[in-house]
Amino acid sequence: MTETIELALKTLEAQLNQPLETALEACARCGICAEACHYYRAEPKVEHIPAYRAEQLRSVYRHEHDLLSRLFPIWTRARKLDEPMLANLAEIAFSQCTLCRRCTVNCPLGVDTPLMMRAIRAMATASGTAPEILVMLADAAIEKGKDPSFYKDMFLEQIKEMEEQLRDVTGDPNATIPVGKQGAKILYVPLAGAHTILPPAVIFNAAKEDWTLSIFEASNYGVFLADVNRARQVAKRIVDEANRLDVKEIVIAECGHAYASYRWDVPNWFAGQFDFKVRSLIEVMADYIAEGKIKVDPTAIPEAVTYHDSCNLARNGGLIEEPRFVLKNVVSDFREMSPNKAEAICCGGGGGLVALAEYAERRLTAGKPKADQIKNTGAHLVVAACENCRLQIGDLNEQYKLNIRTTALTDLVVRAMRLPKPLPGNETEHLFEGEKVAVEK
Protein backbone atom coordinates (compact mmCIF):
# COMPACT_ATOMS: atom_id res chain seq x y z
CA MET A 1 0.00 0.00 0.00
CA THR A 2 1.46 3.36 -0.99
CA GLU A 3 1.69 6.27 1.40
CA THR A 4 -0.99 8.13 -0.58
CA ILE A 5 -3.48 5.31 -0.20
CA GLU A 6 -2.58 4.86 3.43
CA LEU A 7 -3.26 8.54 4.09
CA ALA A 8 -6.54 8.43 2.20
CA LEU A 9 -7.78 5.39 4.11
CA LYS A 10 -6.63 6.83 7.40
CA THR A 11 -8.62 9.97 6.66
CA LEU A 12 -11.70 7.89 5.84
CA GLU A 13 -11.36 6.03 9.12
CA ALA A 14 -10.93 9.25 11.07
CA GLN A 15 -14.17 10.61 9.61
CA LEU A 16 -16.20 7.46 10.12
CA ASN A 17 -18.74 8.69 12.64
CA GLN A 18 -22.42 7.74 13.01
CA PRO A 19 -23.80 10.00 10.25
CA LEU A 20 -21.14 8.93 7.73
CA GLU A 21 -21.49 5.22 8.49
CA THR A 22 -25.25 5.61 8.18
CA ALA A 23 -24.90 7.30 4.80
CA LEU A 24 -22.60 4.49 3.66
CA GLU A 25 -24.98 1.77 4.84
CA ALA A 26 -28.50 3.09 4.27
CA CYS A 27 -28.78 3.30 0.48
CA ALA A 28 -31.15 0.76 -1.09
CA ARG A 29 -29.99 1.72 -4.60
CA CYS A 30 -33.53 2.48 -5.73
CA GLY A 31 -32.24 5.21 -8.03
CA ILE A 32 -35.06 7.58 -7.17
CA CYS A 33 -32.49 10.31 -6.49
CA ALA A 34 -31.50 10.53 -10.17
CA GLU A 35 -33.52 13.58 -11.26
CA ALA A 36 -32.73 15.38 -8.02
CA CYS A 37 -29.21 15.94 -9.33
CA HIS A 38 -28.60 18.74 -11.83
CA TYR A 39 -25.78 16.72 -13.40
CA TYR A 40 -28.23 13.92 -14.17
CA ARG A 41 -30.87 16.34 -15.41
CA ALA A 42 -28.38 17.89 -17.78
CA GLU A 43 -26.89 14.56 -18.91
CA PRO A 44 -29.06 11.60 -17.91
CA LYS A 45 -26.62 8.73 -17.43
CA VAL A 46 -26.03 6.23 -14.66
CA GLU A 47 -22.73 7.84 -13.65
CA HIS A 48 -24.61 11.02 -12.76
CA ILE A 49 -27.01 9.36 -10.32
CA PRO A 50 -26.03 10.42 -6.78
CA ALA A 51 -26.35 6.83 -5.55
CA TYR A 52 -23.88 5.68 -8.22
CA ARG A 53 -21.35 8.31 -7.16
CA ALA A 54 -21.72 7.30 -3.54
CA GLU A 55 -21.26 3.63 -4.53
CA GLN A 56 -17.69 4.41 -5.56
CA LEU A 57 -16.85 5.25 -1.94
CA ARG A 58 -19.05 2.49 -0.57
CA SER A 59 -17.07 -0.11 -2.51
CA VAL A 60 -13.94 1.04 -0.65
CA TYR A 61 -15.73 1.18 2.70
CA ARG A 62 -17.14 -2.33 2.24
CA HIS A 63 -13.74 -3.71 1.43
CA GLU A 64 -12.48 -2.38 4.75
CA HIS A 65 -15.51 -2.96 6.95
CA ASP A 66 -18.00 -5.52 5.65
CA LEU A 67 -17.72 -9.22 6.45
CA LEU A 68 -19.66 -10.45 3.41
CA SER A 69 -17.66 -8.13 1.14
CA ARG A 70 -14.38 -9.43 2.46
CA LEU A 71 -15.46 -13.02 1.86
CA PHE A 72 -17.13 -12.42 -1.52
CA PRO A 73 -16.06 -9.00 -2.85
CA ILE A 74 -17.81 -9.64 -6.16
CA TRP A 75 -21.15 -9.86 -4.31
CA THR A 76 -21.03 -6.18 -3.28
CA ARG A 77 -18.39 -4.95 -5.78
CA ALA A 78 -16.06 -4.22 -2.88
CA ARG A 79 -12.66 -3.03 -4.03
CA LYS A 80 -9.35 -2.33 -2.41
CA LEU A 81 -8.46 1.33 -2.82
CA ASP A 82 -5.63 2.03 -5.21
CA GLU A 83 -4.27 5.21 -6.79
CA PRO A 84 -6.36 5.21 -9.99
CA MET A 85 -9.47 4.65 -7.85
CA LEU A 86 -8.50 7.50 -5.54
CA ALA A 87 -7.96 9.80 -8.51
CA ASN A 88 -11.38 8.80 -9.85
CA LEU A 89 -13.00 9.37 -6.47
CA ALA A 90 -11.42 12.83 -6.23
CA GLU A 91 -12.58 13.68 -9.73
CA ILE A 92 -16.14 12.66 -8.85
CA ALA A 93 -16.23 14.54 -5.56
CA PHE A 94 -14.70 17.75 -6.87
CA SER A 95 -16.22 17.94 -10.33
CA GLN A 96 -19.51 16.02 -10.30
CA CYS A 97 -21.05 17.10 -7.03
CA THR A 98 -21.63 20.61 -5.74
CA LEU A 99 -22.63 19.33 -2.26
CA CYS A 100 -26.06 20.91 -2.75
CA ARG A 101 -27.93 18.19 -0.77
CA ARG A 102 -30.83 18.08 -3.21
CA CYS A 103 -30.40 14.30 -3.46
CA THR A 104 -30.64 13.97 0.32
CA VAL A 105 -33.90 15.90 0.40
CA ASN A 106 -35.28 13.67 -2.35
CA CYS A 107 -34.11 10.34 -0.95
CA PRO A 108 -36.81 8.24 0.77
CA LEU A 109 -34.17 7.20 3.30
CA GLY A 110 -32.58 10.65 3.54
CA VAL A 111 -29.14 9.36 2.57
CA ASP A 112 -26.62 12.17 2.97
CA THR A 113 -24.64 11.71 -0.25
CA PRO A 114 -22.85 15.09 0.09
CA LEU A 115 -21.47 13.88 3.41
CA MET A 116 -19.82 11.03 1.51
CA MET A 117 -18.56 13.41 -1.16
CA ARG A 118 -17.06 15.54 1.62
CA ALA A 119 -15.41 12.43 3.02
CA ILE A 120 -13.83 11.79 -0.38
CA ARG A 121 -12.71 15.42 -0.65
CA ALA A 122 -11.07 15.12 2.75
CA MET A 123 -9.36 11.89 1.67
CA ALA A 124 -8.11 13.57 -1.50
CA THR A 125 -6.90 16.66 0.36
CA ALA A 126 -5.06 14.63 2.98
CA SER A 127 -3.39 12.47 0.35
CA GLY A 128 -2.43 15.36 -1.92
CA THR A 129 -4.82 14.60 -4.77
CA ALA A 130 -7.23 17.53 -4.31
CA PRO A 131 -7.28 20.34 -6.91
CA GLU A 132 -4.21 22.45 -6.32
CA ILE A 133 -5.92 25.80 -6.76
CA LEU A 134 -8.27 25.18 -3.83
CA VAL A 135 -5.34 24.20 -1.63
CA MET A 136 -3.43 27.31 -2.69
CA LEU A 137 -6.38 29.63 -2.04
CA ALA A 138 -6.98 28.13 1.40
CA ASP A 139 -3.30 28.34 2.31
CA ALA A 140 -3.06 31.92 1.07
CA ALA A 141 -5.95 32.90 3.35
CA ILE A 142 -4.25 31.20 6.30
CA GLU A 143 -0.99 33.03 5.58
CA LYS A 144 -2.87 36.31 5.35
CA GLY A 145 -4.26 35.68 8.82
CA LYS A 146 -0.80 35.11 10.26
CA ASP A 147 0.45 38.57 9.40
CA PRO A 148 -2.31 41.02 8.44
CA SER A 149 0.06 44.00 8.87
CA PHE A 150 1.58 43.01 5.53
CA TYR A 151 -1.44 44.30 3.61
CA LYS A 152 -3.41 46.23 6.23
CA ASP A 153 -2.07 49.68 5.30
CA MET A 154 -2.96 49.17 1.65
CA PHE A 155 -6.40 47.91 2.66
CA LEU A 156 -7.01 50.98 4.84
CA GLU A 157 -5.98 53.26 1.95
CA GLN A 158 -8.55 51.55 -0.28
CA ILE A 159 -11.21 51.91 2.39
CA LYS A 160 -10.46 55.64 2.63
CA GLU A 161 -11.12 56.00 -1.11
CA MET A 162 -14.31 53.99 -0.74
CA GLU A 163 -15.38 56.25 2.08
CA GLU A 164 -15.13 59.21 -0.28
CA GLN A 165 -17.39 57.41 -2.76
CA LEU A 166 -19.75 56.53 0.08
CA ARG A 167 -20.07 60.18 1.13
CA ASP A 168 -20.54 61.15 -2.48
CA VAL A 169 -23.42 58.77 -3.17
CA THR A 170 -25.15 59.13 0.18
CA GLY A 171 -24.70 62.90 0.38
CA ASP A 172 -23.79 62.34 4.01
CA PRO A 173 -20.45 63.94 4.94
CA ASN A 174 -20.38 61.87 8.12
CA ALA A 175 -20.82 58.50 6.44
CA THR A 176 -17.97 56.18 7.39
CA ILE A 177 -16.55 52.72 6.84
CA PRO A 178 -15.09 51.96 10.25
CA VAL A 179 -12.33 49.37 10.51
CA GLY A 180 -11.19 47.83 13.77
CA LYS A 181 -13.74 49.71 15.86
CA GLN A 182 -13.58 48.35 19.39
CA GLY A 183 -16.93 47.39 20.92
CA ALA A 184 -18.94 47.82 17.71
CA LYS A 185 -22.19 45.89 17.62
CA ILE A 186 -21.57 44.33 14.20
CA LEU A 187 -18.43 42.99 12.57
CA TYR A 188 -19.28 42.90 8.88
CA VAL A 189 -17.20 40.38 6.90
CA PRO A 190 -17.12 41.15 3.18
CA LEU A 191 -15.78 39.20 0.22
CA ALA A 192 -12.81 40.31 -1.83
CA GLY A 193 -13.81 43.44 -3.76
CA ALA A 194 -15.45 46.81 -3.23
CA HIS A 195 -18.79 45.50 -4.51
CA THR A 196 -19.32 43.71 -1.20
CA ILE A 197 -18.22 46.69 0.90
CA LEU A 198 -19.71 49.85 -0.58
CA PRO A 199 -23.40 48.83 -0.91
CA PRO A 200 -23.54 47.34 2.60
CA ALA A 201 -21.80 50.49 3.88
CA VAL A 202 -24.60 52.56 2.35
CA ILE A 203 -27.15 50.40 4.16
CA PHE A 204 -25.33 50.35 7.52
CA ASN A 205 -24.94 54.14 7.43
CA ALA A 206 -28.58 54.69 6.47
CA ALA A 207 -29.66 52.42 9.34
CA LYS A 208 -27.27 54.27 11.69
CA GLU A 209 -25.77 50.93 12.62
CA ASP A 210 -22.88 50.56 15.04
CA TRP A 211 -20.64 48.48 12.80
CA THR A 212 -17.09 47.83 11.78
CA LEU A 213 -15.55 46.24 8.72
CA SER A 214 -13.46 43.10 8.96
CA ILE A 215 -10.00 43.21 7.41
CA PHE A 216 -10.51 39.63 6.22
CA GLU A 217 -12.78 38.19 3.58
CA ALA A 218 -15.52 35.69 4.38
CA SER A 219 -14.77 33.01 1.79
CA ASN A 220 -13.20 29.84 3.11
CA TYR A 221 -11.65 27.44 0.62
CA GLY A 222 -10.86 25.01 3.40
CA VAL A 223 -14.60 24.24 3.38
CA PHE A 224 -14.47 23.13 -0.26
CA LEU A 225 -11.52 20.91 0.51
CA ALA A 226 -13.47 19.39 3.43
CA ASP A 227 -10.31 19.99 5.39
CA VAL A 228 -11.51 20.97 8.85
CA ASN A 229 -8.02 21.89 9.97
CA ARG A 230 -7.52 24.39 7.15
CA ALA A 231 -11.11 25.63 7.35
CA ARG A 232 -10.73 26.22 11.08
CA GLN A 233 -7.54 28.21 10.55
CA VAL A 234 -9.22 30.40 7.93
CA ALA A 235 -12.23 30.96 10.19
CA LYS A 236 -10.03 31.60 13.22
CA ARG A 237 -8.88 34.91 11.73
CA ILE A 238 -12.41 36.25 11.91
CA VAL A 239 -13.34 34.57 15.19
CA ASP A 240 -10.24 36.14 16.78
CA GLU A 241 -11.06 39.52 15.25
CA ALA A 242 -14.61 39.36 16.60
CA ASN A 243 -13.36 38.42 20.05
CA ARG A 244 -10.66 41.09 19.98
CA LEU A 245 -13.14 43.81 19.00
CA ASP A 246 -15.73 42.45 21.41
CA VAL A 247 -18.56 42.65 18.85
CA LYS A 248 -22.07 41.35 19.44
CA GLU A 249 -22.43 39.70 16.08
CA ILE A 250 -20.67 38.74 12.90
CA VAL A 251 -22.56 39.60 9.74
CA ILE A 252 -21.50 37.69 6.66
CA ALA A 253 -21.66 39.19 3.16
CA GLU A 254 -23.89 37.60 0.53
CA CYS A 255 -21.99 34.34 0.23
CA GLY A 256 -23.47 30.86 0.44
CA HIS A 257 -20.63 28.74 1.74
CA ALA A 258 -19.33 31.44 4.06
CA TYR A 259 -22.72 31.89 5.69
CA ALA A 260 -23.35 28.14 6.01
CA SER A 261 -19.91 27.52 7.47
CA TYR A 262 -19.84 30.43 9.94
CA ARG A 263 -23.46 29.96 11.00
CA TRP A 264 -23.57 26.18 11.22
CA ASP A 265 -20.05 24.73 11.22
CA VAL A 266 -17.73 27.19 12.97
CA PRO A 267 -19.26 26.64 16.45
CA ASN A 268 -18.49 22.94 15.99
CA TRP A 269 -14.96 23.49 14.73
CA PHE A 270 -14.22 25.55 17.82
CA ALA A 271 -16.13 23.18 20.12
CA GLY A 272 -18.28 25.77 21.80
CA GLN A 273 -20.74 28.59 21.69
CA PHE A 274 -19.45 32.09 21.03
CA ASP A 275 -20.31 35.34 22.75
CA PHE A 276 -21.36 36.70 19.38
CA LYS A 277 -24.00 35.46 17.00
CA VAL A 278 -23.65 34.96 13.26
CA ARG A 279 -26.12 36.35 10.75
CA SER A 280 -26.21 36.93 7.04
CA LEU A 281 -26.44 40.42 5.62
CA ILE A 282 -29.75 39.25 4.16
CA GLU A 283 -31.23 38.81 7.63
CA VAL A 284 -29.91 42.18 8.72
CA MET A 285 -31.44 43.93 5.70
CA ALA A 286 -34.76 42.16 6.30
CA ASP A 287 -34.77 43.41 9.89
CA TYR A 288 -33.89 46.98 8.85
CA ILE A 289 -36.79 47.02 6.40
CA ALA A 290 -39.21 45.45 8.89
CA GLU A 291 -38.17 47.90 11.61
CA GLY A 292 -38.25 50.88 9.25
CA LYS A 293 -34.55 51.59 9.78
CA ILE A 294 -34.05 51.95 6.06
CA LYS A 295 -36.61 53.31 3.63
CA VAL A 296 -37.04 51.48 0.36
CA ASP A 297 -39.37 52.15 -2.52
CA PRO A 298 -41.22 49.00 -3.62
CA THR A 299 -41.84 50.57 -7.03
CA ALA A 300 -38.18 51.46 -7.55
CA ILE A 301 -37.44 48.37 -9.61
CA PRO A 302 -40.40 47.77 -11.92
CA GLU A 303 -38.82 45.10 -14.13
CA ALA A 304 -39.49 41.40 -13.62
CA VAL A 305 -37.10 39.92 -11.08
CA THR A 306 -36.47 36.32 -10.13
CA TYR A 307 -34.48 34.89 -7.21
CA HIS A 308 -32.07 31.99 -7.19
CA ASP A 309 -31.89 30.12 -3.88
CA SER A 310 -28.27 29.38 -3.16
CA CYS A 311 -28.11 25.81 -1.82
CA ASN A 312 -25.90 26.87 1.07
CA LEU A 313 -28.24 29.68 2.04
CA ALA A 314 -31.60 27.96 1.57
CA ARG A 315 -31.51 24.16 1.72
CA ASN A 316 -28.38 23.98 3.86
CA GLY A 317 -28.68 27.28 5.64
CA GLY A 318 -32.35 27.87 6.39
CA LEU A 319 -32.47 31.33 4.80
CA ILE A 320 -35.59 30.87 2.74
CA GLU A 321 -38.14 33.55 3.56
CA GLU A 322 -35.75 36.36 4.55
CA PRO A 323 -34.52 37.15 1.02
CA ARG A 324 -38.09 36.96 -0.27
CA PHE A 325 -39.23 39.45 2.36
CA VAL A 326 -36.52 41.85 1.21
CA LEU A 327 -37.33 41.31 -2.45
CA LYS A 328 -41.04 41.89 -2.00
CA ASN A 329 -40.18 45.25 -0.48
CA VAL A 330 -37.92 46.43 -3.27
CA VAL A 331 -39.34 45.00 -6.48
CA SER A 332 -42.86 45.13 -7.87
CA ASP A 333 -42.73 42.10 -10.20
CA PHE A 334 -41.17 39.19 -8.34
CA ARG A 335 -41.35 35.83 -10.06
CA GLU A 336 -40.47 32.56 -8.34
CA MET A 337 -38.53 29.90 -10.18
CA SER A 338 -40.04 26.44 -10.09
CA PRO A 339 -39.03 24.48 -8.06
CA ASN A 340 -37.69 26.85 -5.43
CA LYS A 341 -36.77 27.25 -1.74
CA ALA A 342 -35.66 23.93 -0.20
CA GLU A 343 -36.35 22.18 -3.51
CA ALA A 344 -34.41 24.71 -5.60
CA ILE A 345 -32.11 23.33 -8.29
CA CYS A 346 -28.41 24.01 -7.83
CA CYS A 347 -26.91 26.45 -10.34
CA GLY A 348 -23.88 24.18 -10.72
CA GLY A 349 -21.34 26.62 -9.37
CA GLY A 350 -21.25 25.48 -5.75
CA GLY A 351 -18.77 23.32 -3.89
CA GLY A 352 -15.84 25.35 -5.21
CA LEU A 353 -16.58 24.43 -8.84
CA VAL A 354 -16.45 28.06 -9.97
CA ALA A 355 -12.79 28.22 -8.96
CA LEU A 356 -11.83 25.09 -10.89
CA ALA A 357 -11.12 26.11 -14.47
CA GLU A 358 -10.40 22.53 -15.52
CA TYR A 359 -14.04 21.61 -14.93
CA ALA A 360 -15.61 24.71 -16.51
CA GLU A 361 -17.23 22.85 -19.39
CA ARG A 362 -18.75 20.26 -17.09
CA ARG A 363 -19.97 23.02 -14.77
CA LEU A 364 -21.70 24.87 -17.60
CA THR A 365 -23.34 21.71 -18.90
CA ALA A 366 -24.61 20.88 -15.44
CA GLY A 367 -26.02 24.40 -15.15
CA LYS A 368 -28.47 23.84 -17.99
CA PRO A 369 -31.44 22.99 -15.71
CA LYS A 370 -30.90 26.26 -13.86
CA ALA A 371 -30.65 28.16 -17.14
CA ASP A 372 -33.97 26.61 -18.22
CA GLN A 373 -35.57 27.55 -14.91
CA ILE A 374 -34.46 31.17 -15.28
CA LYS A 375 -35.68 31.31 -18.86
CA ASN A 376 -39.09 29.99 -17.83
CA THR A 377 -39.66 32.86 -15.41
CA GLY A 378 -39.42 35.42 -18.20
CA ALA A 379 -37.45 37.68 -15.86
CA HIS A 380 -34.30 39.38 -17.10
CA LEU A 381 -32.93 40.36 -13.73
CA VAL A 382 -31.73 37.45 -11.57
CA VAL A 383 -30.95 37.99 -7.93
CA ALA A 384 -28.50 35.59 -6.31
CA ALA A 385 -27.34 36.19 -2.77
CA CYS A 386 -24.15 34.22 -3.30
CA GLU A 387 -21.05 35.33 -5.18
CA ASN A 388 -20.29 31.89 -6.66
CA CYS A 389 -23.90 31.48 -7.81
CA ARG A 390 -23.77 34.91 -9.46
CA LEU A 391 -20.57 34.03 -11.28
CA GLN A 392 -22.07 30.75 -12.46
CA ILE A 393 -25.35 32.34 -13.56
CA GLY A 394 -23.35 35.01 -15.38
CA ASP A 395 -21.51 32.24 -17.23
CA LEU A 396 -24.79 30.44 -17.92
CA ASN A 397 -26.12 33.68 -19.37
CA GLU A 398 -23.34 33.68 -21.94
CA GLN A 399 -23.47 29.96 -22.59
CA TYR A 400 -27.24 29.72 -23.08
CA LYS A 401 -27.93 33.26 -24.35
CA LEU A 402 -30.37 34.03 -21.56
CA ASN A 403 -30.25 37.80 -22.00
CA ILE A 404 -30.28 38.41 -18.26
CA ARG A 405 -28.40 40.48 -15.71
CA THR A 406 -27.41 39.17 -12.32
CA THR A 407 -27.35 41.19 -9.16
CA ALA A 408 -26.78 40.84 -5.45
CA LEU A 409 -29.71 41.44 -3.12
CA THR A 410 -27.77 44.25 -1.41
CA ASP A 411 -27.40 46.09 -4.72
CA LEU A 412 -31.16 45.93 -5.28
CA VAL A 413 -31.85 47.28 -1.81
CA VAL A 414 -29.48 50.17 -2.43
CA ARG A 415 -31.16 50.83 -5.78
CA ALA A 416 -34.50 51.00 -3.99
CA MET A 417 -33.17 53.48 -1.43
CA ARG A 418 -33.26 57.23 -2.00
CA LEU A 419 -29.70 58.23 -2.75
CA PRO A 420 -28.44 61.44 -4.38
CA LYS A 421 -26.17 59.47 -6.70
CA PRO A 422 -25.91 55.89 -7.89
CA LEU A 423 -23.18 53.61 -6.65
CA PRO A 424 -20.27 53.05 -9.03
CA GLY A 425 -21.14 50.14 -11.26
CA ASN A 426 -24.82 50.40 -10.43
CA GLU A 427 -25.71 53.48 -12.47
CA THR A 428 -28.52 52.09 -14.52
CA GLU A 429 -31.30 53.37 -12.35
CA HIS A 430 -31.75 55.04 -9.01
CA LEU A 431 -33.95 57.40 -7.10
CA PHE A 432 -33.13 61.02 -6.56
CA GLU A 433 -35.12 63.05 -4.09
CA GLY A 434 -37.99 60.64 -4.49
CA GLU A 435 -38.06 60.80 -8.27
CA LYS A 436 -36.96 57.89 -10.39
CA VAL A 437 -34.05 58.84 -12.60
CA ALA A 438 -32.54 56.54 -15.16
CA VAL A 439 -28.82 57.08 -15.38
CA GLU A 440 -27.14 55.06 -18.08
CA LYS A 441 -23.45 54.22 -17.85
Partner 1 sequence: MLIAQLLALAGLIAGLFGIYLRYAETKRRVLPADRSPIKGNVSHGIAYAFTTGMLPWAKESTRIHMIAYLRGIGFHIGIFTAIGAVIISPFWEYLPPVLSWILFGVLTLGAFLGTAGGVMRIVEHNLRGLSLPDDHFAVWLTTLFITVTGLAVVNEAFLIPMYVVAAMTFVYVPLGKIRHCLYFFFSRTFFGKFFGRRAVFPHGVETP
433: left (phi over 0), alpha (psi -120 to 50) or beta: left
Contact of 20 with 116, CB cutoff 8 Å: yes
Using the minimum distance from each CB to partner 1, give the nearer residue, 13 or 333. Answer: 13
Chain residues 67-86 in contact with partner 1, contact rule CB under 8 A: 67-68, 74-77
Question: Which residue among 2, 6, 25, 378 contacts partner 1 (CB under 8 A)?
Answer: 25
Using the minimum distance from each CB to partner 1, give the nearer residue, 236 or 341. Answer: 341
21 lies in the site for partner 1, by CB under 8 A: yes
Q: Is 314 exposed, middle or buried (0-12, 13-18, 19+ CB in 10 A)?
A: buried
Using the minimum distance from each CB to partner 1, give the nearer residue, 23 or 175. Answer: 23
Using the minimum distance from each CB to partner 1, give the nearer residue, 211 or 269. Answer: 269
Min dist. Cβ of residue 348 to partner 1 (A): 18
Candidates 34-42, 129-137, 145-153, 208-216; binding stretch for partner 1 (CB under 8 A): 34-42
Q: How many CB atoms lie within 10 A of CB 406?
A: 21
110 lies in the site for partner 1, by CB under 8 A: yes
235 lies in the site for partner 1, by CB under 8 A: no
The letter for the amino acid at 88 is N
105 lies in the site for partner 1, by CB under 8 A: yes
Question: Which residue among 2, 6, 10, 26 contacts partner 1 (CB under 8 A)?
Answer: 26
Using the minimum distance from each CB to partner 1, give the nearer residue, 18 or 149. Answer: 18
Chain residues 277-336 in contact with partner 1, contact rule CB under 8 A: 277, 314-318, 320
Task: Annotate each residue in 174-213 with x if it binds partner 1 (CB under 8 A) or - if it does not, as one string.
Answer: ----------------------------------------
Contact of 215 with 180, CB cutoff 8 Å: yes
Contact of 189 with 217, CB cutoff 8 Å: yes
Chain residues 38-57 in contact with partner 1, contact rule CB under 8 A: 46, 49, 51-52, 55
Q: How many CB atoms lie within 10 A of CB 440?
A: 6
Using the minimum distance from each CB to partner 1, give the nearer residue, 105 or 192. Answer: 105
Min dist. Cβ of residue 40 to partner 1 (A): 9
19 lies in the site for partner 1, by CB under 8 A: yes
Q: How far is CA 212 from the centre of its chain?
A: 23
123 lies in the site for partner 1, by CB under 8 A: no
265 lies in the site for partner 1, by CB under 8 A: yes
φ, ψ for residue 62, nearest 5 deg: -65, -40
Question: Which residue among 84, 173, 272, 434 contacts partner 1 (CB under 8 A)?
Answer: 272
Number of residues that bind partner 1 (CB under 8 A): 59
Min dist. Cβ of residue 160 to partner 1 (A): 36
Q: Is 291 exposed, middle or buried (0-12, 13-18, 19+ CB in 10 A)?
A: exposed
343 lies in the site for partner 1, by CB under 8 A: yes
Paired sense of beta strands 430-432 and 435-437, if any: antiparallel
Question: Which residue among 30, 87, 156, 357 contacts partner 1 (CB under 8 A)?
Answer: 30
Min dist. Cβ of residue 46 to partner 1 (A): 3
Residue numbers of the site for partner 1 (CB under 8 A)? Answer: 16-19, 21-23, 25-36, 46, 49, 51-52, 55, 67-68, 74-77, 104-112, 263-268, 271-273, 277, 314-318, 320, 339, 341-343
